Amino acid sequence: MKSLPLFSLVALGLFLFQSCSEKKEQKPKKPNILFIMSDDHAYQAISAYSDHLINTPNIDRLAKEGIVFTNASVTNSICAPSRATILTGKHTHINGKIDNHNPFDTTQVTFPQLFQKAGYQTAMFGKLHFGNNPKGVDDFMILPGQGHYINPDFITQKGDTTITGYVTDIITDMSLEWLDKKRDPSKPFLLMYLHKAPHRPWWPRADKFKEYTQKTFPLPETLFDDYSNRGTAAKTAEMNLLHHMQYSHDSKIWPATLEAMGDVQPVVEGSQADVNNEFNRGNEEQKSQYKPIIDAINQDFREKWPTMTDKEKMIWKYQRYMQDYLGSISSVDDNVGRVLDYLDNNGLAENTIVVYTSDQGFYLGEHGWFDKRFIYDESFKTPLLIRWPNEIKPGTTEEEMVQNLDFAQTFLEAAQIKAPDDMQGESLMPLLKGQADEWNRDAVYYHYYEYPSVHMVKRHYGIVTKEYKLAHFYYDVDEWELYDRIKDPKEMNNVYDDPDYADVVAKLKKELAALRVKYKDSKELDDKYIEQSKK
Ligand code: SGN
Ligand code: CA
């Protein structure tokens, strides 16, 4: 073979160098942000935290390739308020979205608006939970309110539409299509990819439903908690599997089965409590996939229920609950995998910060409960995993106390956008970059408001440190609770009145009062929001 003359080699080298550096320049310097949030996804149901219930290999990739936070929490453990806190970077009492019912003041600055202004391309797909016109996003398709699992309706910029299929797959398809076809590759992007699953009434896709109804799951240690060493709030909450989980709506027993068995729990046909409410959204083909599985559940129920003790009923309901809840999560995990693969296959993984979180934690039978709302760990904590290649050391576990309050400032700092001075969180950047000595928070503030309301969890606020949790329940009670998080991690004993803890109580009360001042919460605001809720 004739060798190339020297000058051609030099020219080739120059060409290659130039095209490489051109490619580099084309790549946006600012990182993309892919914010993945599911609804009611307990950290207990992510194998990066614990694999006793389910394997979530795709979500776990973020832990392996990035950081997993074991003490991430929310400031108010309920859906719409959590989302408002994430968007505004402010506590509930400041952004005003105290519960799922009071409106969100849309004149407030939200972090996507700042990204949009700074030249990011922005989009939101899935569950927002309030409003019909999210600000700061170039493109959106959102579920009205809670949304549905089967053939869900969407609010879009072109009007309302119903899409055939399973909600978790559909929200992913929308997000992938946006990444692939609507995105302007010359701009960095912020994509909010927001799942409805695994929110109640926990409907898995038919194939997962079939698979998961064959499984049984280990019982939580505190399933039969009688709340004897707790306050009034735990005793009066209406979220106990035996007493408050609904046979039809939740466990998927046909109203006709309940009636034939002597009105186990009467259900008004077509009401929200009727399993048919979601089932009937299906077309004939979808119904024919679900029906035999539901019939088999009904058969099992009919055979066992009449002779079951309360303890056995509790276990039966727990298993049914876990089958549906975890089956729904399995689809979330598969779909997260689809999106991570897309980033890999399109050269986007390296410059994209991927966040996986939930709007709050959830009880998976711990303390006999489902749902959330309490300052107790399973609902107060939320999963948080972040991957940012070259910035976060793979396989990092972080125990510092971080909150959803911090997300906005973290994303803004990563994107080199100035955060408004009145945001109340702290950027997680030092923790992401392994500079823990620059992080000095030792307590977080919590405040829950939605009472009286579904599940009847009383209003309370409190302070949480790594060692203790002190909460004040108010409105129709005036009770304090203290938990020793080290000695009693399952929070079974309220030691507020234990003389051994008198000094701890005194110290924490002072710190709590200081946090209320720091974050501008007050008795006046508590009273204002009580009055507002009455309207
Ligand atoms: C619905 C659920 C409740 C749940 C709230 C709030 N009932 O009312 O169990 O606590 O939403 O959830 S359901 O029968 O309609 O599913 S949140 O995640 O939106 O805060
Ligand atoms: Ca939620």
In tens, the pLDDT along 300-336 reads 999 999 999 999 999 999 999 999 999 999 999 999 9
pLDDT digits (tens, 9 = 90+) for 138-149: 999 999 999 999
Q: What is the pTM of this model?
A: 0.94
Give me the domains of the chain, ranges plus CATH numbers: 32-202+327-432 (3.40.720.10), 227-321 (no CATH), 448-534 (3.30.1120.10)
Q: How far away, in angstroms, is 454 Cα from ligand 1 center?
A: 8
Q: Which atom of ligand 1 is nearest to the CA of 82?
A: 20
Residue 37 structure tokens: 């949030």
Task: Compute the distance from residue 242 Cα to the ligand 1 centre, in Å.
Answer: 18
User: What percent of the chain lies above the pLDDT cut of 90?
Assistant: 92
CA of 200 to the centre of ligand 1 (A): 6
pLDDT of 14 > 60? The answer is: no
Average pLDDT over residues 376-398: 98
pLDDT value at position 360?
98
**CB atoms closer than 10 angstroms to residue 502:** 11
Q: Which residues contact residue 274 at a Cβ distance below 8 angstroms, ignoring those fewer than 6 apart?
A: 248, 249, 255, 267, 268
Q: What is the pLDDT of residue 265?
A: 83
C-alpha dist (Å) from residue 220 to 6, 45, 115, 370, 488: 73, 12, 42, 12, 16
Tell me, what's the pLDDT at 24? Answer: 44
- Mean pLDDT over 48-67 rounds to 98
**Reported confidence tier of residue 8, pLDDT bands at 50, 70, 90:** low
pLDDT at 268: 86
pLDDT band at 442 (very low <50, low <70, confident <90, very high): very high
Residue nearest to atom 12 of ligand 1 (CA): 79
Is 316 in contact with 304 (CB distance < 8 Å)? yes
Asked whether residue 266 carries a pLDDT value surpassing 90, the answer given is no
Residue 199: what pLDDT?
98
What DSSP letter does each residue of 379-442 carry, written as one string?
Answer: HHB--EEEE-TTTSPTTEEE-S-EEGGGHHHHHHHHTT-PPPTT--S---HHHHTT-GGG----
DSSP helix/strand/coil, 447: strand
Please identify, by atom number, the ligand 1 atom nearest to the C-alpha of residue 250.
14
How far is the C-alpha of 12 from the C-alpha of 3, rounded, in Å?
A: 14
Residue 410 Cα to ligand 2 middle (Å) = 22
Indicate which residue's Cα is closest to atom 20 of ligand 1. Answer: 79
Mean residue pLDDT of the chain comes to: 95
Instruction: For residues 286 and 280, give the distance between their C-alpha atoms in angstroms, rounded to a whole number.
Output: 9
Q: What is the mean pLDDT of residues 413-418?
A: 98
Task: Select from 309, 238, 335 the least CA-distant residue to 38.
Answer: 335
Listed in sequence order, the DSSP H helices in 451-521 are 502-518
- In angstroms, the Cα distances linking 396 to 16, 110, 220, 304, 383 are 37, 29, 28, 47, 14
Tokens at 517, concatenated: 């001042």
Q: What percent of the chain has pLDDT over 70?
A: 95
Q: Tens digit of pLDDT for each residue in 397-414?
A: 999 999 999 999 999 999
Over residues 370-391, the mean pLDDT reads 98
Give CA–CA dist 525/179, Å, rounded.
43
Residue 180 and residue 342 in contact, taking contact as beta carbons nearer than 8 Å: yes
SS (H, E, C) 323-336: HHHHHHHHHHHHHH
pLDDT digits (tens, 9 = 90+) for 67-76: 999 999 999 9
The ligand 1 atom at the shortest distance from the C-alpha of residue 273 is: 14
Q: Where does ligand 1 bind, in terms of residues with CB under 6 Å?
A: 39-40, 78-79, 100, 146, 199-201, 249, 371, 454-455
pLDDT grade, residue 80 (50/70/90)? very high
Could you report the per-residue pLDDT of 106-147, keeping only the tens digit for each?
A: 999 999 999 999 999 999 999 999 988 999 999 999 999 999
Q: Is the pLDDT of residue 17 over 60?
A: no
Residue by residue, DSSP assigns 222-240 as TTT---TTS-HHHHH-S-B
- What was the pLDDT predicted at 13? 46
Q: Does the structure show a pLDDT above 60 at 261? A: yes
Rounded CA gap, 297 and 306, in Å? Answer: 15
For residue 86, pLDDT over 80 is answered with: yes
pLDDT at 197 over 60: yes
Whether 22 has a pLDDT exceeding 60, the answer reads no
What is the pLDDT confidence band of residue 263, given thresholds at 50, 70 and 90? confident
